[in-house]
Amino acid sequence: MYVLALTGGLGSGKSTAAQVFAERGAVVIDLDEIGRTLLVQAAAVRERVVEAFGADILGADGLVDRTALAAVAFATEEGTARLNAIMHPAILAAVAGALDTLALQGEQPPAVVLVVPLLVESPLFLEPVDAVLTISANEDLRIERAVARGMSREDAENRLARQAGDGERREIADYVIENDGDIESFQAAIGEFWDMEIAPRER
């Protein structure tokens, strides 16, 4: 079973790339989505996060308000590191379980794509991976994309400041695709990557 890590900074285009891969038959596992699920369903994880960042991150329903958590966790390097130390091992365990389940299926997907925003920051996510695809894009453009999706500019800038740069992501990448143009060109580039690098593995 071929496992591809898809990484890139905030607003780089990971979700668009993942959608193209899914349309071609890949199983996409989004680590951010796993993290969100753990905060809701895994009481032990949620309790550790509340212990680290305080009850003010809880909403009226008693669940973690991810906007409030982000405002605290991504405001400083220490806060980001504290959150990652709690979340990343739990996310990796969930990924390992998902991969084990897929491996037991009779018919294997052409690829499993792990969407890993913080791959440089947490190299433990490289453990189950066969190759890394980095999506690179101009930082100002990435901020504009994040704001267009509803994120405040301050939050977007704070998150980018706590993330590795594109140069560092290139260093761990087997493949790099630029996303500084329109979405149609980017989707075409992702499709071409699939046809050249993934599809031949099915033969």
Domain boundaries, the chain: 3-202
Q: What is the pLDDT of residue 26?
A: 95
Q: What percent of the chain stands above pLDDT 70?
A: 99
The pLDDT tens digits for 106-118 are: 788 899 999 998 8
pLDDT confidence band for 74 (50 / 70 / 90): confident
Q: What is the pLDDT of residue 92?
A: 93
Q: Which residues make Cβ contacts (< 8 Å) with residue 128, sequence separation at least 6?
A: 3, 95, 96, 99, 114
- Over residues 150-177, the mean pLDDT reads 87
Q: Is the pLDDT of residue 203 over 60?
A: no
Q: What is the pLDDT of residue 57?
A: 93
- Interatomic CA distance for residues 98 and 59, integer angstroms: 29
Q: What is the pLDDT of residue 67?
A: 87
> At the topology level of CATH, where does 3-202 sit?
Rossmann fold (3.40.50)
Q: Read off φ and ψ for residue 197, nearest 5 degrees.
A: -110, -30
Top mean-pLDDT range of 37-51, 142-156, 157-171:
37-51
Q: What is the pLDDT of residue 164?
A: 81
Strands 3-8 and 175-178: unpaired
Q: What is the pLDDT of residue 130?
A: 95
Q: Is the pLDDT of residue 202 over 80?
A: no
Q: Is the pLDDT of residue 162 over 80?
A: no
